[in-house]
Amino acid sequence: MPYTDIAGDISVHDFRMAIRAPSLSENKQVINFNITGVADPALTASITAYQYSMDNGTTWEDMTPSSATVLTGLSFTPSGSTLSFGWEAKQDIGTLMYNNTIRTRFRATSGSLVTGYAAYTVYFERLSSNLAEEANKEIFPSDYSGLSGKDLLSGAPRTEI
């Protein structure tokens, strides 16, 4: 709620962002963040800081926003507005986006008002370091000496239709 002190000099606004769990795009290139922007009273803001850290916050680098990301003219409302931020993570850090803890933070500005940092830690697990190699693996090794699927079904009961 807006608040004015007795002298009328100070105005404090509830202006903040919160991040929900990010998701990885279908093409595995972009990490999508859903951010809730809250301001009372409603205002228009811009996302002015969008950074990541690979060393637990010792150093911060700017993220490359996806072409679909809108950074300015964003609506922050008392009930919360959903904002989307797509980070071209594959472009910025390559395969380091997998199996590593990545800290992210965002900040918005509206005139002289600035949110605190909204932070989120990202971790996407990738089980294999070479997906092409994994896709080419046979279900059974070439030297598998067991029964084939045809042999296994040769004694199965049959139903005629």
Question: Topology of domain 14-137, per CATH?
Answer: Immunoglobulin-like (2.60.40)
pLDDT at 133: 55
- Domain map of the chain by residue range? 14-137
**Alpha helices for the chain (secondary structure H):** 89-93, 131-135, 149-153
Cβ neighbours around 30 below 10 Å, total: 24
Full-model pTM:
0.71
- Chain CA centroid to CA 22, Å: 3
Cβ atoms of residues 117 and 49 within 8 Å = yes
Residue-by-residue pLDDT tens, the chain, 161 positions:
444 445 555 555 689 999 988 999 998 899 999 999 999 899 999 999 999 999 999 999 999 999 999 999 999 999 999 999 999 999 999 989 889 999 999 999 999 999 999 999 999 888 755 555 555 554 444 554 555 555 555 555 555 55
pLDDT at 12: 56
Q: Look up tokens 């996806």; give the residue.
A: 66
pLDDT at 135: 52
